[in-house]
Chains A and B, each alone.
Chain A
Amino acid sequence: MTTATTAREAATGGDVAAPAGSLRRYGRWWPAVALAALLAAPYSSLPLPGLLDGPIGSAGSLQLLALCLVFGALATGYDLLLGRTGLLSFGHALYFAAGSYATELIMVEAGLPFAVAAVLGLCCGIALAAALGSVALRVGGIAFSMVTLAFAQAGSILVERDPGGVTGGEEGRAIPADRLPASLAGIGNTANLYWIALAYLVLTLAVVHWAVRSPTGRVWEGIKENERRVEVLGLRPYGFKLVAFVLAGALAAVGGIVHLLLTGGATPQTTTSDFTLSLLVMVVLGGSGSRWGPLVGGVLYTWADHRLGDLAGSPAVSGLPSFLRVPLSQPLFLLGALFVATVVALPGGLTRLPARLRRR
């Protein structure tokens, strides 16, 4: 974060005496500044007590930051369905897990190099999303949600039951360290994995940004508002919805591959319906249908899920009376409660909060 402040000083320090208007003009560049700060994070040794365990550049912190970025990106891709096209899919975990399991299987069982396996794994994810999406999109509304739920649940059962010893059952599948390129294996190379996660985030943001501004994206918006009207205008929503579904599935498959690298294996937890529900929570928490909302929600959720448990063990919390301490020790309870509060009291999510406060 030291780089963040210097970069911001460089951006604003040139004309300190300039009026507030130019400040606002420079304010538009905050994504670039944030990106530069994120890029430089592995070189920073700044401690963030409470937020992270150890300085930013340490392997543990980088791992958590990278996970936050991956889930932020994953939520952004999921919002392509939920917030941009209005499709409530309960089976997004399937495509994430497909990318991660397929890549691992191809790499280890077929003995192909990682890059080839990753491309093939992505292709598997896309093919699965295209096949299941083309079937599921034949129905609309809540029926679509339940068909996607059924497909994902079938995938989850398959993975858990471990047919022929392929998926590793409840253990999942770990990558043997010698199968990975040397620059991606080992704890000393966490920075490289972190940059890969950051690249995935930038890719997702760029793809979603570009897609929703394309002509297809305009139709998605129309489908979300009123599907019948899109039909009356002479367009067939089915094809457009399928494009959104496959694009979101492809982005999830890439996320699965990055997650595979980051955690060193494919785990069955990523196939469950709970995983999809947590994506849903991230998107709605941050703000569905906005550019930064799902990212904010994903980062917040992942951070809270990993760090609140540690905080609960800290002396500050363990000294509290039990009726306060017990709920605080369960990150999922806090996140669920925060989610419900957001749904009820804050439509538009956390990213809408500043605008709402300003209007008061």
Chain B
Amino acid sequence: MSTTVLLAVTGLGLGALYFLVAAGLSLIFGLMDVLNFAHGALLSVGAYATWWAAGGHLPGAGSGGFGFVLAVCFGTAVGTVAAVVLELALIRPLYDRPREQVLATVGVGLAVPALLSAIWGPDARPFPGPAALSGTFGLLGARIPVNRLVLIGAAAVVLVALRLFLGGTRHGLVVRAGVEDRAMVTALGIDVRRAFTLVFAIGGAAAALGGALGGLYYGSVDPGQGTSLLIFAFVVVVIGGTFGAGGSGAATGSVAGAALAAVVVGLVQQFANYYTASGLGDLAVVVLLAVLLLLKPGGVTGRLA
């Protein structure tokens, strides 16, 4: 029983991390048809910025209490700025060449981790976290690390915030309409490109937050972390696309679908890795991606939901 509870909470924590990456990825893909291979790099940027700030380089920030909150905010802000710069500098000039957009993000996805490892070395660095978050607590007989709860809480907050933003604000309305039918939104005289930058900023913020909290989850940061999470985030986006169909509107549907898919993927991975051979969970999830795409190719071509 205690093992099951531990696996379930850890799986949920992993799912929360996947959701933070996949939420932005699926919004970007839904709105702009850009498969953002640089999203893992954004996560790494957020993780390293938080690590740098929590290490005492940023005045006021530190590894404990309010200082750590400040460090996470700093990391998220840096990731957001990086995403906006990426969109303005590379994605926008290639607006009429969709394949080149994907290639440019591939290049960024290669260059940024290389730059990080050039500056701070290729090895994993221990991630400083507040003492309050490094302990465990008891739940139904299992000792569960507190940082799992932090991840789950952050993902829930991001999910609610995204739904409120998409459902309750004018910018959210433009994004939703753009996911549904971009040409029509443009024809109505709305500058949909401003929504592109906005969606990149949101996606970058969520991914960087994921990187900052992922540092807690893994206990360390290394340059390749984001890239290895990216493939599972792709899986979540695709599965979320098939879940989200029939929901209330494409954009909100894809975000809710991504949340559900992230939970499923995280749980499947944890349980399969524990109860069957190690690595089989990862394998199962990746094969699931191929099978779903083959059965429902519409899940990823163009509109997501």
Contact = CB atoms under 8 A, between A and B. Distances in A.
Interface of A: 88, 135-136, 138-143, 145-147, 149-151, 153-154, 157-158, 160-161, 163, 273-274, 277-278, 280-281, 284, 326-327, 329-333, 335-337, 339-340, 343-344, 347
Contact of A344 (B33, B104, B279, B286): B104
B107 A339 contact: yes
Contact of B293 (A146, A160, A344): A146
A281 B106 contact: yes
Interface stretch (B59-67, B110-118, B140-148): B110-118
A157 B297 CA distance: 24
B15 to A, nearest CB: 19
Contact of A332 (B99, B108, B111, B279): B111
A277 B103 CA distance: 9
Given A158-B283, A336-B112, 13 more contacts: A138-B297, A143-B300, A146-B293, A147-B293, A157-B283, A274-B227, A277-B110, A284-B103, A333-B118, A339-B110, A340-B107, A343-B103, A344-B90
A88 B35 CA distance: 12
A143 B119 CA distance: 36
21 contacts: A136-B294, A138-B297, A139-B294, A139-B297, A142-B33, A142-B102, A142-B301, A147-B290, A150-B287, A157-B282, A157-B283, A274-B227, A280-B106, A326-B118, A330-B114, A331-B114, A333-B118, A339-B103, A339-B107, A339-B111, A344-B94
Contacts of A330: 114-115, 117-118
Given A143-B301, A161-B277, A163-B277, A150 B110 contact: no
Interface in B92-148: 93-94, 97, 99-100, 102-104, 106-115, 117-119
A269 B277 CA distance: 22
A288 to B, nearest CB: 9
B251 interface: no
Given A140-B297, A142-B301, A337 B111 contact: yes
Given A143-B293, A336-B110, A343 B104 contact: yes
Interface of B: 33, 35, 37, 90, 93-94, 97, 99-100, 102-104, 106-115, 117-119, 227, 231, 234-235, 238, 277-279, 282-283, 286-287, 289-290, 293-294, 297, 299-301
A150 B283 CA distance: 9
Counting from the closest, the 8 A-B pairs by CB-CB distance are A336-B111, A161-B279, A332-B114, A330-B118, A340-B107, A333-B114, A336-B110, A139-B297
B106 A277 contact: yes
B297 to A, nearest CB: 4
A151 B106 CA distance: 19
Contacts of A138: 294, 297
Given A280-B106, A340-B104, A344-B93, A146 B279 contact: no
Contacts of A143: 293, 297, 299-301
Given A330-B115, A332-B111, A336-B110, A146 B104 contact: no
Consensus secondary structure, chain B interface: helix
Nearest to B237: A146
B291 to A, nearest CB: 9
B118 A329 contact: yes
Contacts of A150: 235, 286-287, 289-290, 293
A153 B287 CA distance: 9
B213 to A, nearest CB: 24
Contacts of B299: 143
* Residue with the highest number of chain B CB atoms closer than 10 Å, among A147, A278, A284, A326: A147
Contacts of B279: 157-158, 160-161
Contacts of A158: 279, 283
A54 B37 CA distance: 39
A340 B231 contact: no
Q: For A140, A160, A284, which residue has the most chain B Cβ atoms within 10 angstroms?
A: A284
A274 B109 CA distance: 10
